[in-house]
Chains A and B, each alone.
Chain A
């Protein structure tokens, strides 16, 4: 056993806190200050609005494969669907679900705290998020409909009358909703960060934290620094649209009339937007990285390979992601030296990311792999992420990006790497932690059906899209029309993709049914069905009661990955088992 030098460990111990105890059904389940309830509220809201975005993607795909089949899908509606689909999926589903949902549920339980440190702000965070979602959804019912500016909202088109919602309510509701979302997120984000810093149980050093917590923690720090960029951009665009300033608006003629604007810089908006937008990719990816590490380790019954490297890689990726934003702007034009700089930093990110992929694979190597549902989704994630990541290496280069930038290749790339990959982790994580949240297992057969439809189906959708992109099929187009360089067979492929998209979307109904059905009919899970080591599985009750830990806070004696320790009675030793009960190991000479 290695002696730990005392005095060098920062205090993570808090005195046991006086919890706020709810007095009525309303304060217990609706205006709750319990992070676990808030997590469920966040998840349900995010998944609900995500389903809206799923239906929007169906409508877009139907238009691409069967142009004109539905009369109501005209060009304006198509752009509105694209915009809302993108914005909802990236911000209101993925960000909210990973940080607001998993962050709220897992951080206090995994670090051994009774709750978040500021429960009231945490509650406010959810209600403000809900308000943002409602403002966003109000766009569908507003005069002129939601904005159709594309999810990047590039000015000047986003606030002009040629774009749906540009001179109506659409863009106003979108910008307001984003501002409200950011305010709400900041309240939640402060909670996640300070809880990790100050709320850890006795003995839980940073290097004993599960990688899930590391991922969510780093992503939250990044989000707190990156979201202000979107905030500033939204405020400035609101000024331009409502008060007639010219932050972003150049001199422009709209429908034959010269507008008051002049001299503004659309590129300035792009800088602000992507200064938020690129870290956003990793705000979604890092929690996924963390969660998938824990799933793989638990279900391969083996300690995570290279834990320190994994932690360092998370931190380094978080740092690097702030200096690559302009690789989204190659086609906007820039000094060649900048293009070189941003291409280089982009490719450098591949190094820590590749380290993580190797470590996942090496964790699997000679592990005792249980192909439970969370493991299946984790494996599917690795494959999908590698695929999407490799095309990222293509697009990170200026000369390759410029011809490919406006084609379906880019759509395929980012859907693989930040659409499908994180969603697979979300599914894996729900199959993994559902027993803790509800006390019952999700149904295995339904889960298998859901997994194979989702995994194979998303490949059938997005893999051929790379090919379409290389053919030159443009993205963002409402319909193709007569295009000389695209062969007619591309259309056949488009039909195939649409049919698969319909199937995959419908396959998610199996999952939703499973969530509801298992809540009542699922097999009783017990406290620790996966025989996992981390603290959330060691709570005295399942689902964990208010205050999580009963009378005494847990004490942490070991890291989160003591699986298959030689000489131990069981193949896992929970983090709160003292040294004498498990086995101690000698440091290698």
Chain B
């Protein structure tokens, strides 16, 4: 459960940081009158849209989900019947595809901010295609592993591999649905540029997050995470 506790500590730090700006020590019973709001001064940044806050909260939930699954992975991996499983070379290609997908969405975000529709469209399509390629590659990797005899129920390492990649794939799939919607809108003529900019922004954030999750999972499967944990253990002892 160390992983989830670390994750929660990070969340707690964010919450404490946020609460510290909320005047929790004020004495509301002594205050009357409407509060002066900062955006009345005109110098402040525009408020963050609610959808964006919603996305960040959702990413917190997804982060908790994967932290818990990884916690379970480590706890189960401590038992004697655990044999590591080979990492198919295809996963490297998939990782590259997901990285490029994330990068092209970042590119799309920049184009959208500058209002350049004609370069926004290819960026979005590239990002979409690469993410689809990633998913197809993951399924191909599953097929290769199954063909090589590494089936789901054989060993807990296999089970975790299929479950974690499956969970991650489902989250990518959900992101793809939204991204497809955004891309279709980018090609339509009557779309408010503000809304489109926000959608592209959110898609980019989500794809970066899922890429980061993938990197951590990949490190786990490749065994680097174990080496790292061993190193920490040695240092502590």
The residues of A with any CB-CB pair to B shorter than 8 Å are 1-2, 4, 6-14, 117-118, 186, 189-190, 193-194, 197-199, 202-203, 205-208, 221, 224-225, 228-229, 231-232, 235-236, 239, 243-247, 260, 262-265, 268, 271-272, 275, 303, 307-308, 311-312, 315, 319, 322-323, 555-559, 561-562, 578-579, 582, 584-585, 587
Contact = CB atoms under 8 A, between A and B. Distances in A.
Interface string B16-59: 00010111111111111111111101001001101101100110
Interface in B74-93: 75-76, 79-82
A227 B142 CA distance: 29
A12 B50 CA distance: 11
Interface stretch (B61-69, B111-119, B192-200, B229-237): B61-69
Given A1-B30, A221-B15, A584-B32, 10 more contacts: A6-B41, A10-B38, A189-B61, A194-B54, A198-B48, A199-B50, A202-B35, A228-B61, A557-B32, A582-B32
Nearest to B19: A315
- Which 5 residue pairs across A and B have the least CB separation, nearest first? A6-B36, A263-B81, A559-B28, A228-B65, A245-B159
Contacts of A236: 72, 163
Contact of A10 (B22, B25, B80): B22
Contacts of B159: 239, 245-247
Contact of B68 (A232, A239, A315, A556): A232
Interface stretch (B4-12, B126-134, B220-228): B4-12
B50 A190 contact: no
Contact of A207 (B26, B68, B82): B26
A585 B25 CA distance: 19
14 contacts: A9-B23, A14-B47, A194-B54, A197-B50, A202-B37, A203-B35, A225-B11, A231-B65, A232-B69, A239-B152, A260-B153, A262-B81, A555-B34, A556-B34
Nearest to B36: A6
Interface in B159-212: 159-160, 163, 167
Nearest to A227: B61
Contact of A263 (B38, B61, B68, B79): B79
A13 B39 contact: yes
A203 B29 contact: no
Contact of A2 (B31, B48, B50, B64): B31
B55 to A, nearest CB: 9
A303 B57 contact: no
B156 interface: yes
B8 A245 contact: no
B156 A245 contact: yes
A246 B153 contact: yes
B32 A319 contact: no
Contacts of A6: 35-38, 41
Nearest to A586: B30
Interface size range of chain B in the complex: 35 or more
Nearest to A585: B30
A8 B47 CA distance: 14
A153 to B, nearest CB: 16
Interface of B: 1, 4-5, 8, 11-12, 15, 19, 21-39, 41, 44, 47-48, 50-51, 53-54, 57-58, 60-61, 64-65, 68-69, 72, 75-76, 79-82, 152-153, 156, 159-160, 163, 167
Nearest to B30: A2
Contacts of B65: 228, 231-232
Contact of A11 (B25, B27, B37, B156): B37
For A197, A203, A206, A232, the residue with the greatest tally of chain B CB atoms inside 10 Å of its CB is A232
A265 B76 contact: yes
Given A205-B23, A243-B152, A246-B153, A272 B68 contact: yes
Nearest to B82: A263
A561 B12 CA distance: 29
B155 to A, nearest CB: 8
Contact of A198 (B34, B36, B53): B53
A239 B162 CA distance: 10
